[in-house]
Amino acid sequence: MSILRVALDLPLPRVFDYGCDEATPSDVGRRVLVPFGNKHAVGVIVGLADVSEVEAGKLKAALRVLRDAPALGRDWLELAQFCSSYYHRPLGEVIFNGLPRRLREARAIAAPEDAAFCRLSASGRGALARLPARAAVQRALLQRLLQGDCAETGLLERNPGARKALARLCDAGWIERYRLSTPLRYGHFVERLPLNTGQQQVLRQIAAAGTGYQVFLLHGITGSGKTEIYLRLIASALAAGKQALVLVPEINLTPRLTQEFAERFPEAPLVTLHSGLADGERVHHWLQAQSGAAGIVLGTRLAVFAPMPRLALIVVDEEQDASFKQQEGLRYSARDVAIFRARQAGIPIVLGSATPALETYARALSGRYRLLQLSQRAVPQAQLPLVQTVDMRRHKLEDGLAPPVIEALAERLRRGEQSLVFLNRRGYAPVLMCPACDWVSGCKRCSARMVLHLADRQLRCHHCGANSPIPRHCPNCGNADIHPFGRGTQRLEATLAARFPQARVLRVDRDSTRNKGSFSRMLGEIQAGRTDILVGTQILAKGHDFPNLTLVAVLNADSALYSADYRAPERLFAQLVQVAGRAGRAGLPGEVLIQTQYPRHPLYLALAQHDYPGYARTLLAEREQAGFPPYVFEAVLRAEAKELRTALAFLREAAAQAGAPPPGISLYDPVPMTVTRLAERERAQLLLQSASRKALQAYLSAWSAKLQALPQRAVRWHLDVDPIEF
Ligand code: ADP
Ligand code: ZN
Ligand code: ZN
């Protein structure tokens, strides 16, 4: 009998031994069903052993090795082990964080099929003429196949309704599905445009570095054609019969990218991995990655854990994006894990951005990463937008808008061009107030305000999601005359509609795009020119092309300039570059107007000069002086409890356990978090810093073992390594 070392999805820093007669070394990496307490649990076998520390009489037997899905490879387990030790989380938790839900269950998985391809049948060739115009999705699929055969995955990525439409067309006999016996034809790549000299140079530099491990930072201004670089690199990986992994911040917000990939690689099966997929689909895509059938895996941060046996390239687009960092459970940075993965696999990784994270940029400047630059817009006549500030101290605002902004909007309406008014605050107004007694609508569960949502007649907390009806009178003094204060996107939408009655105003934010498919429908409306003024949050800032959009007006950006969070200006700069990049991408020149109280602030000056490198150096100098990342490495210990003092007491005890830190490591006093109360829990944290990542890691390892042993007394705690939010 052998002993199985089994990782379970438990917050305990250990693996569990089980006896098993049927297991062989090839079962390492497989799932196994085991008894745990009085239940059954699915675990993953991370090793076999001859002896166990558990007394023979007490060793339980595993129930069944689950062999329906292939075993996770040794390199995958090694990656999990790395995350476990770097983020100081139990191996089981890391493994189960990476697995799709269906693999966390014991239910059998249907064996993955070979990738399917689609072609038009003889009758399907004439079908287009017979389909009514309203069958738009079916028509689009047929049109695509008229150009040639295509991987089924590629067709399905084109449209949310594509699966149903494809089934109909197959039933009608117009489309035939077929399977290719291996080897797959990965190679065919649709070359759409000749590369410009900048792009050629970048590709030459990457090629010259060979196929081994190397981190590249592709710093390219918005619209410089970074996607084309990714596509070419992927094409050569596929041509060599290898796989490529592409990580993007939010796939639902960038349908264009998925479509572009599917169109340019019609034969290479592409799968997506993100949290919006149904469980069945997600595990199917995962298994295609694992079998090597999927040439390209395109996904959000969780895709960094996709098993890919023939991985030859990783691309991380918008590498600075905060969504790459998971903010709960295993608090990993997908970008950093991707870099580890590239080193482990001995392959190149390309980090792309118009505004790299300062950590990344500093490493590129120091030569640890190779810096590649694209400094021109790729479309020949496209220019960078003209960025100007509007001094709010010199203008009287009308409904929150300065006259020059109103005039610019009117001008766009006259010319039949589109405008975007950017306001990163959804809802009608950020707070409801009573002028008589100064009551404000606070959340009962959080130290935050309830936002007024007029559209669904509610007050809503954006931190914990709590809802309550809008009071008719002040709950404090009974005054009936209570007012919304400040403005959110809903109010702005109403204001603009009233001021420009002839304009078609469309609001795009998390509230208006909550229903499935509504975001892509709105994008369609915008691209078809059926809107004049867009009101949007950052959801609109990401890589969309709106050829007729020539004006971006930015409201209320100032609050980030003097924030307590040292990362706030870096984020604001990145965000404004992204929104500004929406203006004037085709032939029409773009204009960006920023309403501000601080028109001479270095951030706005740099933005107007399109000078990321200059501003980055300024921020880096400030960080160096203040002793912030990237000049130090950080970790925080957070605790939450019913009462703040319990959380603080826990942190003080934790600090006492740690003892005096060795030289080179700073341990700060526990402090309440910025949003102290969240969903009825009060939160505090303790910061550690060190100029040496290695020293910090060694210290954290020893410390977290002691923390495990501390009595917990109604406190929940966790370590966050390389935190980005405080
Ligand atoms: P980025 O990701 O750098 O912001 P994109 O990759 O979206 O930029 O490219 C911006 C636009 O430039 C796209 O419309 C793309 O089709 C176009 N483009 C890219 N490369 C070229 C090229 N070599 N010649 C002409 N147009 C190009
Ligand atoms: Zn709340
Ligand atoms: Zn009152």
Three-class HEC string of 187-255? CCCCCCCCCCHHHHHHHHHHHHCCCCCEEEEEEECCCCCHHHHHHHHHHHHHHCCCEEEEECCCHHHCH
Ramachandran angles phi, psi of 680, nearest 5°: 70, 15
Burial 249-269 (b: 16+ CB within 10 A, else e): bbbebbbbbbebbbbbbbbbb
What count of residues does the chain have?
726
In 3-state terms the chain splits into helix, strand, coil percentages (rounded to 5) of 35, 25, 40
CA of 589 to the centre of ligand 3 (A): 50
- What six digits make up the tokens of 611? 């000078």
CA of 431 to the centre of ligand 3 (A): 14
Dist CA 487 CA 432 (whole Å): 11
Ligand nearest to the CA of 465: 2
Radius of gyration over every alpha carbon of the chain, rounded to an integer in angstroms:
27
Q: Which atom of ligand 1 is nearest to the CA of 380?
A: 25
Q: Which atom of ligand 1 is nearest to the CA of 374?
A: 3
| Residues pairing with 150 in the sheet | 118
Q: Is 409 in the pocket of ligand 1 (CB under 6 A)?
A: no
Q: Please say whether the beta carbons of 679 and 463 come within 8 A.
A: yes
Atom 15, ligand 1: which residue's CA is nearest?
225
Three-class secondary structure of residue 669 per DSSP: coil
pLDDT averaged per 10 residues, the chain (length 726): 94 93 92 95 96 87 93 96 97 97 90 69 82 86 81 73 86 79 61 94 96 97 94 93 93 78 85 91 91 91 96 97 96 98 97 98 98 92 90 94 97 96 94 95 94 92 93 95 94 96 95 85 90 93 83 93 92 95 81 97 97 98 96 97 95 91 94 93 96 96 91 89 92
Q: Is 586 in the pocket of ligand 1 (CB under 6 A)?
A: no
Residue by residue, DSSP assigns 154-191 as HHHTT-TTHHHHHHHHHHTTSEEEEEPPSSP-------
CA of 92 to the centre of ligand 1 (A): 43
- pLDDT score of 370: 98
Ligand nearest to the CA of 439: 3
Residue to mutate (ligand 1; options 379, 381, 582, 612; most atoms within 8 A of CB): 379
Q: Which atom of ligand 1 is nearest to the CA of 196?
A: 23
Q: Which residue has the tokens 């291996």?
A: 182
Q: Is 670 in the pocket of ligand 1 (CB under 6 A)?
A: no
Query: The sheet that has 214-220: what strands, in order across it?
Result: 270-273, 296-299, 243-247, 311-317, 348-353, 214-220, 370-374
Dist CA 587 CA 12 (whole Å): 59
Atom 23, ligand 1: which residue's CA is nearest?
195
- pLDDT score of 318: 96
| Residues pairing with 637 in the sheet | 686, 719
Atom 11, ligand 1: which residue's CA is nearest?
223
Ligand nearest to the CA of 228: 1
Name the residue among 259, 680, 608 with its Cα closest to residue 446.
Answer: 680
Q: Which atom of ligand 1 is nearest to the CA of 194?
A: 23
Count of CB atoms within 10 A of residue 193's CB? 10
Q: Is 223 in the pocket of ligand 1 (CB under 6 A)?
A: yes
